[in-house]
Structure 1
Amino acid sequence: MIKIHKVSAFAVQKNGGNPAGVVFDADNLTEQQMKKIAAEVGYSETAFVSQSQLADFKVRFFTPTSEVDLCGHATIAVFNLLRDLKKINTNEIYTQQTKAGILQIKIKEKEVLMEQTKPKYLDIIRPSDMRGCFHNLDYLENMPIQIMSTGLADLILPVKSLKTLYNLKPNFDKIKELSKKLNIVGIHAFTLESLHNSNAHARNFAPLYGINEEAATGTSNGALACYLQKYYSPSLKSYVMEQGYTMDRPSEIKVKLKTGNNNHFKVYVGGGIKRI
């Protein structure tokens, strides 16, 4: 019998965060079986953990409709669970093999930090290219609408205020069309206003992958931190992002950026979990 662990990553409170399914010892599962399990679980992502010859663990991520290269909140779920189940040690660094590459995981007592890929600053999009995606879009004109990736490509969309962000009315069919056209996972909208003195408050829409809205998105907020460092806060290295409040699932995502010699740049996204 296959055991499916259900946890919520990045949760601020018991009912907060982004739910993820986790299946350990997945070595003998076929891709079709993983897809079926992920669809039955119904969360935005389910992670399947198996042995790796290249890293400490191999992890594959499935939405209810398809496989994705990397998932931040499901990674946070996997490694917090591994620590709680005493399969790994606190204050150690482990590696995971993913379709986005081999990435480091730092294990803390109550949270984990996952390495993401180096940021890619991709195409800048005109507001007219997004026509029809939202019925009442009031974007922040002094910052670009840009495709960013620290493992998965998202369109980073700056809006003027918390009120504007909360009142966004997405047209999911149009967002699907745009996502296909731009080869992105979805749209990560944010405002610099926040509820709890965070660096940004965000909403994430990825209907192309069966996720109309997501409560906490690790990879997207990793990309957002890199975006903010480039366009808004060049000296800042630590960020806290709020997400999920419009879904009554309050979430807090921490991001740390590390720079060094020879353009050595690392992105870490961190958080804890709560059992469901």
Structure 2
Amino acid sequence: MEILRYVAFSERADGGNPAGVVFDAAGISSSRMLEIAAEVGYSETAFVTRGVDRELTVRYFSPKVEVPFCGHATIATAVAFADLHGPGELLLQTPAGPIEVSTSVTHAGATVATLVSVPPRVEAMEAALLDELLMALHWSHADLDAEFPPRVAHAGASHPIIAARTRERLADLSYDFSLLAILMERAKWTTIDLVWRESDDVFHARNPFPPGGVREDSATGAAAAAFGGYLRALGLVTLPATVTVLQGQDMGRPSTITLSIPKDPASGIAVTGTAVRL
């Protein structure tokens, strides 16, 4: 078994979000996959349990738990496959549903991958649950951007979308790890998508991930896809839209995620990024 290591959503090894990729995972037990993910130590490792032509069956594990879908590990898997077999189209069968992915190589030699999420859904958040979340984050209602109301969005995994009123609020991320982990496990949330709007089509994001044993994710493709569904459902962008999500800057691992948001509410959100092998 070979464990490949890639950084997704960056063209630099010291940026983006690292992910493990295992292409020969057939026959490995779930418990062993979890052990391997913990040994690798990244926020996610993707395990390909079956591959026929360009259709792959993939599972995703953090150091502590399996998740139904992971965007940055999907980008890493697609680029790793392209490095081995050439760019083109892929179909990934994931616990969240089928994910179409395409890869191509730029004139500069970078490999770019685009995944299309499952159709997103957006739900209201109960007031009491929001109060619990803000308490765990050490935020107040005054810290929130009123133009971007809190919601729970899903595009393969569930993520509360919480918008900060200022960049300073987003930059000061000091939360109660244990309290947030307990709340997220009860609510079945994967990461918390904290965002701040720089302009109409540029947002900054931070993603605490305590259920996975990770204080913060430096690039979260699944949350970005969910955020794209949120922007569309609430009419916060002019459709079709292209949105840039900047993540990891406050961690010293800058990441760039590009969202393509179609008009059709039944369509998935396209998430694009580069990846490089470590």
Normalised by the length of structure 2, the TM-score is: 0.90
Aligned twin of 1:33: 32
- Alpha-carbon distance between aligned partners in 2 of 1:250 and 1:33, rounded to the nearest angstrom: 31
Corresponding pairs, count: 268
Matches within 5 A, 1:48-67: 48-52=47-51, 56-67=55-66
Matches within 5 A, 1:20-99: 20-52=19-51, 56-85=55-84, 87=85, 89-90=86-87, 92-99=88-95
Q: Percent identity?
A: 31
Aligned twin of 2:3: 4
Unaligned runs of 5+ in 1: none
CA contact (8 A) 2:191 2:223 kept: no
- Alpha-carbon distance between aligned partners in 2 of 1:118 and 1:75, rounded to the nearest angstrom: 17
CA gap 1:54/1:175 in 2 versus in 1, 3 angstroms: farther
* Structure 1 counterpart SS, 2:198: coil
Unaligned runs of 5+ in 2: 106-110
Q: 1:131-187: CA deviations, max 9, x gaps?
A: 421224411123211110000001100111211100132111221132123221131
Q: Does residue 257 of structure 1 match 2:261?
A: yes
Aligned AA for 1:128?
D
- Alpha-carbon distance between aligned partners in 2 of 1:15 and 1:53, rounded to the nearest angstrom: 33
CA contact (8 A) 1:259 1:266 kept: no
Q: Which moved more, 1:10-19 or 1:96-105?
A: 10-19
Aligned AA for 2:119?
K
Aligned AA for 2:117?
Q
Aligned AA for 1:217?
T
* Structure 2 counterpart SS, 1:193: strand
* Structure 1 counterpart SS, 2:136: coil
- Alpha-carbon distance between aligned partners in 2 of 1:235 and 1:259, rounded to the nearest angstrom: 5
CA RMSD of aligned residues (A): 2.0
Aligned twin of 1:219: 222
1:238, distance to aligned residue in structure 2 (A): 1.4
Q: Does residue 101 of structure 1 match 2:79?
A: no
CA contact (8 A) 1:76 1:114 kept: yes
Aligned twin of 1:177: 182
- Alpha-carbon distance between aligned partners in 1 of 2:43 and 2:213, rounded to the nearest angstrom: 7
- Alpha-carbon distance between aligned partners in 2 of 1:239 and 1:125, rounded to the nearest angstrom: 28
Aligned AA for 2:79?
N
Aligned AA for 2:22?
V
* Structure 2 counterpart SS, 1:266: coil
- Alpha-carbon distance between aligned partners in 2 of 1:148 and 1:136, rounded to the nearest angstrom: 20
* Structure 1 counterpart SS, 2:144: coil
1:251, distance to aligned residue in structure 2 (A): 0.2
* Structure 1 counterpart SS, 2:137: coil
Q: Which runs of 4+ in 1 moved over 3 A?
A: 52-55
Aligned twin of 2:159: 154
Aligned twin of 2:108: none
Aligned AA for 2:232?
Q
